[in-house]
Structure formats: C-alpha cells, structure tokens
C-alpha cells in the first residue's frame, strides 16, 4: 500500500512538471496540440491526487459500520476519476476545434521536444502503476495508469499533428488544432472505459470465469468436501469476498462440518491472495 501511495505522489510530480513544460512551450511555440497535451497532463495531477486520497481511505481497517472495510472508496475514486477525465477531454476537444478557424501562426520546431520527452516519461509511469495496481487489485491505481496511457497516446497524436503542420504549413496549418481535438476525443473514450469498469465493480460484478473455477477447485481439494453447490464473489476494494455453499456428508456432526468449513476458508485465503475472506454455508450432500 505504501508503494502505491508513493507511485501516486510520483505521478503527481511528473505530470505537474510535464504540464508546466508543455503548456509553456505550446504557448511560446504557438502549438495548440502541445498546449492541449499539457492541459491533459495537468488533469493527471488532479487524478493522481484523487488516487492518493482513495488509497489512503481504502486502507483504513474495518469497523462496526463498515465490516467489509473501506475498500469501495477506492472504486468510487476510480468512477469519479473517469468523470473528471471525460469533462477534461470535452474541454480540450472544444478548444481545439473552435481555435482551428482562426489559426495564422506556424508552430515552432522546438515544440516537438516536450512531446517526445513526455511520451517516454508517461510510458515509464504506465508500466510502474499498472504492474503494481494489478498486484494489489487497486482499481484507482490501474485507472491512473490508464490515464497516463491516455497522455502517452495523446502525445503521439499531438506529435503527428504538429509534424504535419511543420512539414507543410500551407496545407496542414490547422492540423495542429485538429490534433488537439483528437487528443480530447481520446481522453473521452478512455474515461468512458474507466467509468464503465468502476461501475461494474460497484454493481458486484463477479470476477472472470477462470477465477471462479479456481475457487471451486481449491474448495474441492479439501478432504471431506463432497461438492460445491453455489459460489459467488464480489469486490469490496482491493480484494474479493466469497460466498460459498459447501456440501458435506449429512451424517457427520455440526462440529465436524464446521471444521471442514474452516479448513476450506483457510485454504482459499492461503492459495488465492486476491480473496479477502470466505463465508461458508454448509449443506448436506445428497449425491
């Protein structure tokens, strides 16, 4: 968890420096695409700040009012992050489109430099955040990695548009502004994906079929387990809570069935680190 917080802070620092660099150079070089990419990086600062808040709140232990912990705060942050990105993308697209008609300045060649530097910096952040986010099951950190990926992609789009304007200003002078418009559309598209995935988790969408099958396999590997009738799972933050209907010999005692259920719960939690807890309901095996 501490590493995730450090990555969020690192993302804020890197995105802030890139935003200042690209907005400044974009304004001086008369490049709408570079400026738009700089404003997109500026939203990353706010996004990483939200992720940092979400990680901090989600790490709070369970209490009487929140027996499953505070993990869903982190999912809510992912949803809010997607909404903010969508708004920022719409603003960037609108600015790029409305400014194209009045463009008279040819962008300066040195505007290319910040875009290339930004692409490499964002690629580094994407690798770090996505790898660690998937390791700990953090929705908001993965969403933040996607956000950095958007910035990297928008950098390529801005670089392509700027290159066209520099190659032939007579024919492609407005390409720089259209590149800014394309950057906005990319941000909106990726923001929609982040909001969709966060919403699915809030709706208690179960993990993939392979993961559910793995839960059943581990439960059935425990001695004296006759079958698994039902198996459900829902995410409550970084991990999943599992509801399991276990079938055992109907002739054994309540104490014995309880011991079997306990072994199943402990083995699932031991072998599947993405499972936070297991609620086991014991039923008679009817053959």
pLDDT for 140 equals: 66
Last residue of a domain, one of 144, 176, 202: 202
Compute the distance between CA of residue 114 and CA of residue 102 in angstroms, rounded to an integer: 25
Contact present, 162 and 178 (Cβ < 8 Å): no
What are the residue ranges of helices labelled H in the chain?
A: 2-29, 32-58, 72-99, 112-136, 139-167, 169-172, 175-202, 209-220, 254-271
Q: Is the pLDDT of residue 266 over 90?
A: yes
First and final C-alpha spacing in the chain: 45
Count of domains forming the chain: 2
Paired tokens of 53: 């808040």
| Paired residues of 101 in beta bridges | none
Q: Let me know whether 177 and 90 are in one domain.
A: yes
Last residue of a domain, one of 151, 172, 202: 202
Q: Let me know whether 138 and 265 are in one domain.
A: no
pLDDT for 99 equals: 60
Compute the distance between CA of residue 184 and CA of residue 178 in angstroms, rounded to an integer: 10
Q: Tell me, what CATH number does 238's domain have?
A: 3.30.70.1350
Q: Let me know whether 242 and 134 are in one domain.
A: no
Q: Let me know whether 216 and 188 are in one domain.
A: no
Q: Let me know whether 146 and 250 are in one domain.
A: no
Q: Let me know whether 161 and 220 are in one domain.
A: no
Output the CA torsion sign for 65, 71, 73, 75: negative
| 136-150 pLDDT tens trace | 767 667 777 877 887
| 184-221 pLDDT tens trace | 888 788 788 878 888 887 887 888 899 999 999 999 99
Query: Domain limits at 270?
Result: 209-284
Last residue of a domain, one of 154, 174, 202: 202
């Amino acid at each position: 968890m501490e590493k995730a917080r450090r990555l969020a802070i690192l993302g804020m620092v890197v995105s802030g420096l890139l935003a200042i660099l690209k907005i400044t150079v974009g304004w001086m070089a008369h490049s709408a695409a570079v400026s738009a990419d700089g404003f997109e990086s500026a939203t990353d600062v706010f996004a990483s700040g939200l992720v940092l808040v979400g990680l901090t709140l989600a790490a709070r232990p369970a209490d009487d009012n929140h027996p499953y912990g505070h993990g869903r705060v982190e999912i809510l942050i992912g949803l809010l992050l997607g909404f903010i990105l969508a708004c920022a993308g719409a603003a960037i697209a609108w600015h790029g489109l409305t400014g194209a008609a009045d463009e008279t300045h040819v962008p300066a060649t040195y505007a290319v430099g910040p875009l290339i530097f930004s692409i490499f910096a964002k690629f580094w952040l994407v690798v770090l955040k996505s790898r660690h986010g998937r390791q700990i099951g953090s929705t908001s950190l993965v969403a933040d990695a996607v956000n950095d990926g958007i910035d990297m992609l928008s950098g390529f789009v801005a670089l392509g548009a700027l290159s066209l304007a520099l190659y032939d200003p007579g024919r492609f002078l407005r390409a720089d502004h259209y590149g800014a418009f394309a950057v906005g559309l990319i941000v909106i598209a990726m923001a929609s994906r982040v909001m969709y995935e966060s919403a699915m988790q809030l709706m208690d969408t179960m993990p993939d079929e392979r993961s559910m099958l793995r839960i059943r396999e581990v439960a059935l590997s425990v001695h004296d387990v006759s079958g698994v009738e039902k198996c459900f799972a829902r995410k409550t933050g970084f991990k999943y809570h599992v509801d399991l209907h276990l079938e055992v010999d109907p002739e054994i005692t309540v104490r014995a069935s309880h011991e079997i259920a306990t072994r199943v719960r402990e083995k699932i939690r031991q072998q599947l680190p993405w499972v936070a807890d297991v609620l086991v309901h014991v039923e008679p095996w009817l053959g």
